[in-house]
Structure 1
Amino acid sequence: MDRAPLYDQIARGPEGGAAYWLKTQDDVRIRFGHWPSPPEPRGTVFLLCGRTEYIEKYGPAAADFAARGYAMLAIDWRGQGLADRLLPGAPEKGHVGGLQDYQWDLHAVIDAADELGLPKPYFLLGHSMGGAIGLRAIAHEHHRFSAAAFSAPMWGIKVSPLLHPLRIVLANLFGDSFLAEAYPPGMNATTYVYRDSFEDNRLTRDPEMWAWLIEQASKAPELTLAGPTIHWVAESLLECEALASLPSPDLPCYCGLGGAEKIVHTASVHDRMARWPKGELDVIPGAEHEIMMEIPQTRARFYDRCAALFDAAGALAARDTLKAESA
């Protein structure tokens, strides 16, 4: 695998991070980055980011996990960050063939983590769109993760109450129509942090984090993404509907959800976690969508609970390994 750029100055991650180019099985070039393992690492967190996001946005998260004993990696999904953009004539648009295409990206990153010898066990952390990708990945019996955590997972997309009952009909009607590559109503070619003021934003209550996101967008605009296409929205609605019908995995799970969440469909998150026997839902009062970009006490609460989950699951995995070796 070839080295790729990692913008350390705006990432604010631990020293010694590295990024790599990968080719997926369907021949899309993606980028992933990881930060060095802390002493005596307890495993590696696979941070599956949301739509519009990129590796550098999670440098501080890598530092927080390193402080708790975990290595971390992050992914530029196809169509965003420095990965191949899927609409050459409009690279700023968020687009994908189908939501399950992101599984090719995750498979490539798991193989790369194995090749680099990143510390095991592996743990999954999915934010927003990454939550849908992550749930799909662990819905299969032969996944590689010992536990899963989620931040405001996109297990449903918030639409107006009038349109909600018609969402699947509309997705099938417009997803592959002549409007497929157009922006949905209310979306445009401007990346989100330039569209809303801090006072009106739906991501964070932390003014320093908001200013840092604007700094990243201004210093590395090539990382940013604008609104999604109608096709992306349609495919996401269809994938959320498909995921809702799956049973919850037999895996320990922690899910953080902001009490002021305004982007994902919160009822879908409550429904999923209510039927996840090994799952815990943590509704954080006042928090917005991006819990890992929230005020310091919210971030600490989230990382502490993720680490507690991973610690327990890692100890169980180590015990099972010892049993298997002594049998």
Structure 2
Amino acid sequence: MTAIADPEGASLVDIPSNRVPAGARVAHFMTSDKVRLRYAIWPKSAGAHRGTICLVQGRGEFIEKYFETIADFRARGFAVATFDWRGQGGSERLIGNRQLGYVDRFSDYWLDLQSFHGQILLPDCPPPFYLVGHSMGGLVALHAGAADRLMFDRIFLSSPMIGLGGMPASPGVMAKVAETLSFFGLGELPVPRRRDGPAMEMRFADNVLTSDLGRFTRMIDVLKARPALDTGKPTIRWIAAAMAGMAAAAEDRFPGRIRVPVLILAAACDRVVATAATEEFGLRMRTGRHMVVAGARHELFMENDAVRGQVLAAFDAFITDQSV
């Protein structure tokens, strides 16, 4: 048996191309504002005890997508704890159309992380705690580092959603526009973006996430096995929330509020988030630094072996070697 399932229905998709790492415990927990989220935790699999990696995902992602990376962390001596954000993956969806990405406000994601930390990490996982965040999860992680320097010892970020490429205006202006549309009852309408169709229909040649065919195909296999995990287009309300989160991070004082050591990895060939915005942010941090991974697309943990090797080497230098 590879996973302990929640009797109330939480489970992980286990398929030949993407096996559940052994020892998983999967269940639901309830956030402080009563949203039901799916989570999973794994004990370390080898080596000396080093603490727990809390892994937070990007928009529209799900636990199963990170099985390979979870195995990498566990092999280094870390326990791993992760969950699906509200409104996506195996967690509670917030509006009637389950295929649309929706959140009321960006601070709700911070509430998810706070609830997970208090209800799951502290009682069930060995310290110290290290936060690893990708894309949207990376932006939440930065807000966490600014809000509470005691929750996590270190923060490691992959392609954080600090800015988006090709935006017609600043995040602050776009947040106000989307907020106004939401005020007039349009918040649950989808934003028509070409790349946000059903993920299982995405072609490798058209994808902007990874250059690795095997890892791309594995993601599609999981969604075909459980289509309910998919999250499609964002809603206007989600855009309002996300832009507000990015606008807050763009404020002059924000980087100085982060008192936790941070390492940010940006992808040189990113067509999802703005690498230039990430570099500019990295230069303004007091307790962090950044690096750009050459030849990499947005999803650094899903990239080819050469890129992943650089990412894991940076992780080891920043977290593994500091956790002894």
TM-score by structure 2 length?
0.89
Conservation of the 8 A alpha-carbon contact between 2:199 and 2:220: no
Q: How many residues align?
A: 311
Q: In the aligned structure 1, how far is the partner of 2:183 from the partner of 2:245?
A: 15
Counterpart among 55, 64, 84 of residue 63 in structure 2? 55
Counterpart among 73, 97, 104 of residue 90 in structure 1? 97
Runs of 4+ aligned structure 1 residues displaced above 6 Å come to none
CA deviations over 1:124-161 (Å, ceiling 9, x no partner): 1110110111111111245311110101101123334x
Q: In the aligned structure 2, how far is the partner of 1:239 from the partner of 1:91?
A: 23
Conservation of the 8 A alpha-carbon contact between 1:37 and 1:71: yes
Aligned pairs for 1:1-327 within 5 A: 4-9=10-15, 11-39=18-46, 40-87=48-95, 89-111=96-118, 112-116=120-124, 118-160=125-167, 162-164=168-170, 166-186=173-193, 190-194=197-201, 196-245=202-251, 246-248=254-256, 249-315=258-324
Q: In terms of mean alpha carbon deviation, does 120-129 or 174-183 score higher?
A: 174-183
Structure 1 residue 281 displacement after superposition? 1.4
Conservation of the 8 A alpha-carbon contact between 1:146 and 1:314: no
SS across alignment from 1:204: coil
Q: In the aligned structure 1, how far is the partner of 2:44 from the partner of 2:76?
A: 11
* Letter in structure 2 aligned against 1:62: I
Q: In structure 2, do the counterparts of structure 1 residues 202 and 189 end up closer, same or farther at CA, with 3 Å as the change threshold?
A: closer
- Root-mean-square deviation (CA, aligned residues, Å) is 2.1
What stretches of structure 2 of length at least 5 have no aligned partner?
Answer: none
Q: In the aligned structure 1, how far is the partner of 2:58 from the partner of 2:189?
A: 20
What stretches of structure 1 of length at least 5 have no aligned partner?
Answer: 316-327
CA deviations over 1:98-119 (Å, ceiling 9, x no partner): 1111122112211212221x22
Q: In terms of mean alpha carbon deviation, does 94-103 or 4-13 score higher?
A: 4-13
Q: In the aligned structure 2, how far is the partner of 1:163 from the partner of 1:135?
A: 22
Conservation of the 8 A alpha-carbon contact between 1:20 and 1:32: yes
What percentage of aligned pairs have identical amino acids?
32
Q: In structure 2, do the counterparts of structure 1 residues 289 and 80 end up closer, same or farther at CA, with 3 Å as the change threshold?
A: same
Q: In the aligned structure 2, how far is the partner of 1:42 from the partner of 1:8?
A: 27
Q: Which residue of 2 aligns with 1:323?
A: none
Q: In the aligned structure 1, how far is the partner of 2:108 from the partner of 2:277?
A: 22
